[in-house]
Amino acid sequence: MARSMVVQVLAFCLLSLNFISQSLKRHSLTEQPRFSSFVVLLLSGGWCYAASHHSKWIAFGDGRSSAKRHQVRDGHSAGCPSDEAVLNGSSSHLPGHPRRYSLPALILFIVLRLEIFHRVNYQPRCASPGIESFLCVILICYEVLSNRRRWGVPPSEYVDDPWRSVFDDLHDWFTGPRVTMVLVLSSAFVFATGAYLAASQITESTFTCFSPVDSRPLTLFLQMVGLALDTAIIILLWRILAWARTVRLRLRVLASVFASSSLVFGGLWLGSVIFGGFRRFNVAFGSLHGLDFLMDSAALATFMSSATFWMCETSPITPISVLTFLAGTWCSSLNVLRMGDWMHLSRVDALLPVWFLAFGAVLFTFSHDIRSVIFVPRLLLTFLFMALLCVATIFTFTTQMPTFDDRHPISELMYQAQTKHSRWLLEAGTSQSLPVAVDVYQKRHADRAPPPNFDEWYRYASESLIVDDFEQMDRDIAPFWDLAPAELRSRADAMAADTGVAVIKVQNGEVAKRDSGEDAENADLEELEEMIKLFSRHLPDMVLPINLGPAPRILPSWDDRWPEASNSSLGSLETRSGSMPAYIPRKNEPGLEHWPILLRVRLWPARFEAPTRVFPD
């Protein structure tokens, strides 16, 4: 490959990778991940297939392999030593022939990798950013293990020498290709660690990983599996494309891989639509999505084609390693420039990745024999890294770190909320025994006796942190205390007759449900049914009409709400306003039908509007 073409391929690779990483943060293709993957992969295959018809425009359009890449039967590259062929940026070696099922396995791995990517993308608060930096280390380990016969210790002429020491054995062990192996692996691990430390300081989400709902170990495990799948995809793609003789053939192989993967995703998407219910069938293909599909597919096709061309001319180690330390250098430089804000208060955290990246990248370019990166020669690249290291060190230690006398306002709010929550949690879990629970219930419910089977309920509720505090629930059911049981049952049966209302029916301890027809709402209804089944044997026969919609279905009349307003809320009115209202009429007061609404209560977090009397005309 000509030097100018190397520069173009690397530039295309960097630009397309940067565009893809930025575009995933600003548009909404991830709202329908399988459909979006289907369309993007299909369009990427179309871009690659269209480019294959114009392969002559590419500088190496004839696509013939260079003379250095011919492989002889013993596995060594002609014209260069075996160790230099395996771990060399300027030279390359042919991998083994692709297996029979390499292409189906590649498509399967791509589908699994994208599924894991979307799963991790839903929980960025639990993910560990930057863990992909160690992909180059895994690839080097694969190269070492797959070609371990080439790393044998040269036979010594003094094996039977009785005066040989441990140092002589160490000298023999580090003689020859093993020096290259150790230097490449250690330098890659150093700059990969620096890239990981730099990327881990990027906060993708302001939410915390909530352990009762989220799972940080599961997310980290999925990231590890994704890293292994990345390795398998790169190796299989290298094996398949490295034996393609022309650029046109490589582009068409890429097009077939994209198209096959898109068909699999299309099948998964259709299956989820069919089995998940047609009400979820919603394809939004407007102008915004259409432009996003075209741009992302073009960027993906450009990145994959340029990266695979670069990989086939060298080895998978070179492009992945160069992209890793360049991306890590960019992130670490941004962290140094952001020194002093609330997210970057540590000098060590900002400067340590720069040191790791500088020394690791320089050592890697020399040990791996990378003579230039883009258009920058190796010596100039070394000088630039050392200059960056000096400037970053001086800037870090000369920057005056801000001092904060008081806590940050957000920290103050968090402290107050935590204190309030801790106090509420103590009140909500006061009852540590059944007698105490009975006393607390009577005190908080105007000496009303607990309901039947309260002991069974307490045994069930004691497994939770909240046992005593159900203020919201008490407010919700307060209006129903003024209805007669027979009236309440008749109204419940009338509502249950409506086909648009979900119903849970308890009879003889058995729970049955009737959904409302909406898939998203039915999932909530099923969870409620499973919860009621845990204690349904203690419940009387009942019919529970449930409104799963976002708006209320019943607006109670003034006659139904008034007893609750005049009795249950009277104490709350006195407590919140500090005095009794001027006048509270009775329900059966003569002439009341001529009055408009007398009482209007507005409940805000810390505000109460006292009622006023309105005289009739």
Exposure string of 584-605, with b = 16+ CB inside 10 Å and e = fewer, is eeeeeeeeeeeeeebbeeeeee
Q: What is the pLDDT of residues 422-437, one digit of tens each?
A: 888 888 888 888 888 8
User: Which are the contacts of 109, defined by CB distance < 8 A and separation ≥ 6?
Assistant: 229, 232, 233, 236
Which candidate, 306, 231, 311, places its Cα nearest to that of 14? Answer: 306
Which residue type does 169 have? D
pLDDT at position 590 over 70: no
Show me where the domains of the chain are located.
3-156+169-178+205-314, 409-469, 558-608
Bridge partners for 503 per DSSP: 514, 545
Q: Give the tokens for residue 399.
A: 């920057």
pLDDT, position 284: 52
63 vs 375 pLDDT, higher one? 375
How high is the pLDDT of residue 555?
63
pTM of the model: 0.61
pLDDT of residue 146 exceeding 50: yes
Question: How confident is residue 68, by pLDDT bands cut at 50, 70 and 90?
Answer: very low
Residue 107 confidence class, pLDDT cut points 50, 70, 90: very high
Q: What does the block give as tokens for 506? A: 């308890």
Instruction: Please give the pLDDT value at position 594.
Output: 43
Cα–Cα distance measured from residue 386 to residue 399, given in angstroms and rounded to the nearest whole number:
20
pLDDT score recorded for residue 74:
38
Are 199 and 133 spatial neighbours (Cβ–Cβ below 8 Å)? yes
pLDDT band at 605 (very low <50, low <70, confident <90, very high): very low
Q: What is the pLDDT of residue 380?
A: 92
Mean pLDDT of 562-579: 50
In this predicted structure, the answer to whether residue 360 has a pLDDT above a threshold of 90 is yes
Rounded Cα distance, 375 and 366, in Å: 16
Taking 50 as the threshold, does the pLDDT of residue 601 lie above it?
A: no
Distance in angstroms (rounded) separating the CA atoms of residues 430 and 467: 7
- What's the rounded Cα separation, in Å, for the pair 308 and 212? 43
The span from the CA of 359 to the CA of 328, in Å, is: 13
85: pLDDT strictly greater than 90: no
- pLDDT at residue 2 is higher than 70: no
* pLDDT for residue 63 is more than 70: no
d(CA 352, CA 393) in angstroms, rounded, equals 10
pLDDT of amino acid 356: 94
* DSSP single-letter state for residue 235: H
For the chain, the average pLDDT equals: 75
Cβ–Cβ under 8 Å, residues 34 and 271: no
Provide mean pLDDT across the span 105-124: 88
Distance CA 164, CA 174 (A): 16
pLDDT at 268: 86
Q: For residue 377, what is the DSSP state?
A: E
pLDDT at 110: 92
Angstrom distance (rounded) from CA 365 to CA 380: 12
Residues 6+ apart with CB under 8 A from 453: 538
Between 498 and 561, the higher pLDDT residue: 498
CA–CA gap between residue 492 and residue 198 (Å, rounded)? 60
Cβ-count burial of 318 within 10 angstroms (0-12 exposed, 13-18 middle, 19+ buried)? buried
Residue 40 φ/ψ, nearest 5 degrees: -65, -45
Kind and range of the H or E run holding 504: strand 502-507
The partner residues of 376 in beta bridges, in order of sequence, read 373
pLDDT for position 9: 62
Scan for tokens 């080097």, then name that residue.
140
Contact 77, 69 (CB under 8 A): yes
Does residue 213 or residue 301 have the better pLDDT? 301
Write down the residue that tokens 């009115």 correspond to: 573
DSSP-assigned letters across all residues of 12-77: HHHHHHHHHHHHHHHS-GGGSHHHHHHHHHHHHHHHHHHHHTTGGGSTTTT-PPPGGG-B-TTSPB
Per-residue pLDDT at 591 exceeds 70: no
**pLDDT at residue 282 tops 60:** no
pLDDT at 106: 92
pLDDT at 319 over 70: yes
- Of 205, 201, 197, the closest CA to residue 25 belongs to 205
Three-state SS letters, 345-371: CCHHHHHHHHHHHHHHHHHHHHHCCCC
Q: Which residues pair with 603 in a beta bridge?
A: 608
The pLDDT tens digits for 481-523 are 878 888 888 888 888 888 778 889 998 889 988 876 666 667 7
Phi then psi dihedrals of residue 497, to 5 deg? -75, -15
CA 46 – CA 204 distance, rounded (Å): 33
405 has pLDDT over 60: no
Helices (H), 122-206: 135-146, 166-173, 177-199
What tokens appear for 317 in the block? 């180690």
**Residue, of 465 and 507, whose pLDDT is higher:** 507
Answer yes or no: are the C-beta atoms of 342 and 329 closer than 8 Å.
no
DSSP-derived secondary structure letter, 611: -
Mean pLDDT of 307-311: 82
609 CB neighbour count, 10 Å cutoff:
12
pLDDT (tens digit, 9 = 90+) per residue, 220-257? Answer: 999 999 999 999 999 999 888 888 878 888 888 999 99
Give the separation between CA 585 and CA 567, rounded to whole angstroms.
Answer: 11
- The model's confidence at residue 189, banded by pLDDT at 50, 70 and 90, is very high
362/388 Cα distance (integer angstroms): 12
Categorize the per-residue pLDDT at 212 as very low, low, confident or very high, splitting at 50, 70 and 90. low
pLDDT at 489: 87
What is the C-alpha to C-alpha distance for residues 512 and 609, in angstroms, rounded to an integer? Answer: 44
- More confident call, 92 vs 242: 242
In this predicted structure, the answer to whether residue 452 has a pLDDT above a threshold of 60 is yes
> Which has the higher per-residue pLDDT, 392 or 76?
392
- pLDDT, average across residues 566-578: 48
Q: Which of 502, 504, 501, 496 is nearest to 532 (CA)?
A: 504
Of 585 and 259, the one with more pLDDT: 259
Q: What is the pLDDT of residue 358?
A: 92
Confidence of residue 149 (pLDDT cuts 50, 70, 90): low
The C-alpha angle 468, 469, 472, rounded to 5 degrees, equals 145
Is residue 82 scored above 50 in pLDDT? no
Q: Left (φ > 0), alpha (ψ -120 to 50) or beta: where does 79 sit?
A: left
Structure tokens at 20: 């893809």
449 alpha-carbon distance from chain centroid:
49
Q: What is the pLDDT of residue 470?
A: 77
Highest mean pLDDT among 43-52, 210-219, 286-295, 351-360: 351-360
Tokens of residue 499, six digits: 């086909």
Residue 68: how many other CB atoms lie within 10 Å: 16
Q: What are the tokens at 346?
A: 């540590």
CA distance 525 to 467: 23
Number of Cβ within a 10 Å radius of residue 34: 21
> Between these two residues, 570 and 47, which has the higher pLDDT value?
47
Alpha-carbon distances, residue 181 vs 85, 122, 160 (angstroms): 12, 39, 28
Q: What percentage of the chain has pLDDT greater than the value 90?
A: 14
Distance, CA of 233 to CA of 242 (rounded, Å): 14
